[in-house]
Amino acid sequence: MSYQAPVKDMLFNIQHLAGLQTLTEQIPAFADFGLDTAGAVLEECAKLTQDVIAPLNWEGDKNPSFWQDGQVTTTPGFKEAFRAYAEGGWQGLQHPTDFGGQGAPKTIAAACNEMLQAANMSFALCPLLTDGAVEALLTAGSPEQQATFIPPLLEGRWTGTMNLTEPQAGSDLALVRTRAEPQGDGTYKIFGTKIFITYGEHDMAENIVHLVLARVAGAPEGVKGISLFIVPKFLVNADGSLGARNDAHCVSIEHKMGIKASPTAVLQFGDHGGAIGTLIGEENRGLEYMFIMMNAARYGVGVQGIGIADRAYQKAVAYAKDRVQSRPVDGSKPGSAPIIHHPDVRRMLMTMRALTEGCRAMASTAAAAFDAAHHHPDADARKQNQAFYDFMVPLVKGYSTEMSLEVTSLGVQVHGGMGFIEETGAAQYYRDAKILTIYEGTTAIQANDLVGRKTARDGGQLARGIAGQIEVTEGQLAQRDSAAARAVLKALRASREDFLAVVDFIAASAKANPNAAYAGSVPYLMLAGNLVAGWQLARALIVAEDTLATDKAFMEAKIATARFYAEHILPRTGALRRAIVDGADSVTELSLEAF
């Protein structure tokens, strides 16, 4: 089936959970981005993603990008689709108007990004990396660098990359060996090899702006001695035109399990005398700047998980309505019927739907916090929203991507044997989704961040504050008399208590017994993500019950989905709590020699 963007659900979240009207009232820069504008933007994005980009997804899996003689040729149709994307102004949607962007809230842009990811994840990785490059330049670039590089990036004439990983330096960037030699004229010569560079070489844009981590001679050892450089594929003249080819070359691309159309490059800098780069910000602060780019990308990867989960769900529903097999157990049909009549198929589809909608709601709420953190006129409001957003990033990235593996796997299962056959397309979503739990920081890295920086550092204070907000929602549910509200209240309260027990354990153990705290880091992330997604669906249920008459079928579906999540997915937190609090020692009990 063809992709159908879930515009109605996105607008529901933007209006009722993210609170777009409040953002537009409190933040002058967003005054023109009310609900009507949001609807118009999402509808236009839906047309582009459904009609132009989604049809290339299967083609990209069959005919991926290929490398020959240093050049990468992308999947047929990608170049034209990228031109349509760029000419529509989509790359600049959430970036400042000062540089030619639209200045839209992330609350709106994130929904558009989900559509793009759902339509074609391999294609969407190029704009995602460019967004990160723009964020890094906005944060640390000089006015001259910003004026030179940001406008063509937003126009889609150029694209951006992030160059961290080296053959010997994966997540541990202290091991980076790429070196930068100052030339005395403000430029540096860059020498080294970078691997796993998404869209490090391609044929869709005039220039590629590589942001490269490297070490200047004499810099301190470890992560404190890393600097960040702009190393464009083509040097840029003073008037902004393209100059000579830089000494930065793609020597191969990877052959991958999924996202096959996205070229993952090995880049060699300096084989022919040195690649010319310019320093971003100050020497030895590169990792600090790169984290800006990584944080933007981490949220974006979480949205990738939501997008691909939705695509898998839509395909599974279409198949379940079409595939006829066996008589329903309740006798509602006299003979064989579409498999959607079978209770276990319904269970799988509801699990897919509830997980996807819960994570979408969580991501939308986080986007609103980002907008307030960056643009609210009140300093205290900015600080509070930044803290909330920082806590949400590992949940959006970690939980939503792990969720996408469950959902895409269920998508294959709904298809039965046909799901294992490539031509149905269900397997592609499963293969594509796997990378999401790995790149931009594995699930374990997100979980370590959640434990160390987001929970243990303040003794669990922020986490308990979020639990307090959830308790307010419980109070609102307690005032309602519907069976759905009672069911959601019961499950939400139990999960919040599970969360608080784990927060107390983490806060008490992080220093005293770090192995115990970190042994439960990923389960803690999964518990927290499950709870926050369930909380957002509980909020959605309240809205849906109060506005039932506005769109009865949609609101009833929203209520049913929230109840299913509460009764079938939130209870997982109890098992996670027991594993974290009671099972920490058994994780490290087996001797290393016994493995």
- Active-site residue numbers? 440
> What's the token pair of residue 267?
């880049």
Q: Which letter does DSSP use for residue 285 in this model?
A: -
Q: Is the separation of the CB atoms in 160 and 132 below 8 Å?
A: yes
φ and ψ of 258, to 5 deg: -145, -170
> What's the token pair of residue 174?
């202290």
Work out the angle between the directed axes of helices 483-512 and 552-564 (0-180°, nearest 10).
40
φ and ψ of 120, to 5 deg: -170, 95
Q: Is the separation of the CB atoms in 247 and 273 below 8 Å?
A: yes
Beta bridge partners of 264: 198
| C-alpha closest to that of 121 among 442, 437, 428 | 428
The per-residue DSSP string of 207-262 comes to: EEEEEEEEEETTPPSGGGG-EEEEEESEEE-TTS-EEEEPSEEEEEE---SS-TTS
Distance, CA of 321 to CA of 339 (rounded, Å): 7
Q: Is the separation of the CB atoms in 53 and 241 below 8 Å?
A: no
Helix (H, G, I), strand (E, B) or coil at 252: strand
Q: Is the separation of the CB atoms in 258 and 312 below 8 Å?
A: no
Work out the angle between the directed axes of helices 426-434 and 400-415 (0-180°, nearest 10).
160
H or E stretch at 192: strand 187-198
Beta bridge partners of 68: 71
Burial 403-427 (b: 16+ CB within 10 A, else e): bbbebbbbbbbbbbeebeeeebbbb
